[in-house]
Amino acid sequence: MELLNVLRVLMHHRIAVALGAVAAVAVGAVASGALSAGSPERSPAARGEALIRVLIDTPQSLMATTVVKGAQTVHPRSFLLANLLAGDQLTAAVEREAGLRPGDLVILGPATTEPPVTPGLPERAAEAATVAALIEQEHALTVAIDPSVPIMSIRAAAPDAASARELAGAAVAALQATTAETGGKGGGVEVEPLGSVLSRSVATQTARNFIGGVAAVIAFIFWCAAIVVLGGLTRLWRRLGAQTAPST
């Protein structure tokens, strides 16, 4: 019944609803970057992304045998390394290695529920670009650990593919330097890249269009709600005026 009343009010104010639809489309266009809200600068239509997987291994490689010192703890230590990489100290080390200024990089992770990364999925690195866009950060890393084997996935997002590739390499270098310093002779863990860094440029306009669509819907809903509320207040005001008017 309430819904019917709302629809009745909106139908009665069709012109106002139509104007609200136009305004909502404009809001969505601004949010998606199709229109400028007063600034000539536009967000880039593409970003760079990179993905590299590294094996957290023991000095006597687990590829040969699992009967080595530290084999039972290497997987938990891989989670520790991932958390260290997301910490302030290693974030600063990666920034220095990649030639970034302090505060230019954000590192998120690790995601302990990450499914195993299968071949042919460099596209998964797009998640890092999405995260970077959401937090308005030009450079970002996401770190995840395979839940079954000590393999770390490092995804980088940057303004272009070359920068993303360099950023992923800097993260690996920082990890290797840390394990070399703390491992000691005959102990600790080692970080071994599994293949080269995969990188590419990806369009970000799809995500921006989605944001613009959501903004347009929200704006239109608020506009319609304002029409209904103002319509109700107008009717109430008229009713009170009629009740207080002197009879002749």
pLDDT (0 to 100) of residue 138: 81
- More reliable by pLDDT, 240 or 141: 141
Taking the C-alpha atoms of residue 171 and residue 57, their distance in angstroms, rounded to an integer, is 17
- Tell me, rounded to whole angstroms, the distance of Cα 84 from its chain centroid: 20
pLDDT (0 to 100) of residue 7: 78
pLDDT (0 to 100) of residue 167: 93
Instruction: Quickly state the pLDDT bin for 178 (edges 50, 70, 90).
Output: confident
In the chain, where are the structural domains located? Answer: 1-14+204-240, 46-203
- pLDDT, tens digit, 9 for 90 and up, residues 16-45: 888 888 888 888 887 766 655 544 444 455
Contact present, 157 and 45 (Cβ < 8 Å): no
Q: Is residue 243 scored above 60 in pLDDT?
A: yes
- pLDDT, tens digit, 9 for 90 and up, residues 203-236: 655 556 777 788 888 988 888 888 888 877 777 7
| H/E stretch holding 44 | none
Q: Is residue 185 scored above 70 in pLDDT?
A: no
- pLDDT, tens digit, 9 for 90 and up, residues 85-128: 888 899 999 999 999 999 889 888 775 444 444 444 444 444 54
Taking alpha carbons only, the member of 41, 13, 15, 37 closest to residue 26 is 37
Average pLDDT in the 70-81 region?
A: 73
pLDDT (0 to 100) of residue 173: 92
Question: SS in 3 state form for 46-68?
Answer: EEEEEEEEEEEECCCCCCCCCCC
User: How does the average pLDDT of the chain come out, rounded?
Assistant: 75
pLDDT (0 to 100) of residue 36: 54
Taking alpha carbons only, the member of 84, 83, 145 closest to residue 113 is 145
Contact present, 42 and 183 (Cβ < 8 Å): no
pLDDT (0 to 100) of residue 119: 43
pLDDT (0 to 100) of residue 242: 66
